[in-house]
């Protein structure tokens, strides 16, 4: 079964893209069209007053990894856990952060993406002599 890794909607009335990062992360745009997205990586749910004015954008774990690594994210509150929650694309995480995620744990599908990213970096590092 395909795993959803990114779930967003762009309202074409206000051009705002809204992203749902986790289950029940219900978000709406700020214009009268009230575009909405919900479900995070668990399910796709979207809507608007005028459905013809929204575009959905979902990425799944079996999509091209060059795309998955840019859209799959990890939420974090900094090393000490006292920072505001931010969502970081896997491709922007440094190597130490990737290893820390593997040590900390998480959903199997998410850890698989982290492992793929580590392998991707090893296979795409060119040594210049």
pLDDT tens-digit profile of 3-57?
A: 999 999 999 999 999 999 999 999 999 999 999 999 999 999 999 999 999 999 9
8, 33, 36, 85 from 99: Cα distances, Å: 27, 42, 34, 19
Asked if the model's pLDDT at residue 128 lies above 70, the reply is no
| Of 70, 51, 62, 69, nearest in space to 10 by CA | 51
Model's pTM, two decimal places? 0.88
CB-count exposure of residue 17 (10 Å: 0-12, 13-18, 19+)? middle
Per-residue CA distances from 32 to 1, 49, 72, 89 (Å): 36, 8, 30, 30
Tell me the per-residue pLDDT of 63-90, one tens digit each, with 9 for 90 and over. Answer: 999 999 999 999 988 878 899 999 999 9
């Amino acid at each position: 079964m395909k795993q959803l890794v990114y779930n967003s909607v762009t309202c074409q009335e206000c051009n705002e893209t809204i992203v749902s990062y986790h289950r029940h992360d219900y978000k709406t745009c700020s214009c009268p069209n009230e575009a909405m997205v919900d479900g995070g990586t668990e399910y796709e749910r979207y809507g608007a007053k005028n459905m013809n004015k929204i575009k959905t954008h979902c990425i799944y774990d079996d999509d091209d990894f060059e795309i998955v690594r840019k859209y799959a994210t990890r939420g974090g509150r900094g090393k000490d856990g006292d920072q505001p929650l931010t969502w970081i694309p896997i491709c922007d995480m440094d190597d130490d952060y990737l290893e820390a995620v593997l040590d900390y744990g998480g959903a199997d599908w998410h850890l698989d993406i982290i492992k793929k990213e580590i392998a991707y970096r090893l296979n795409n590092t060119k040594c210049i002599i």
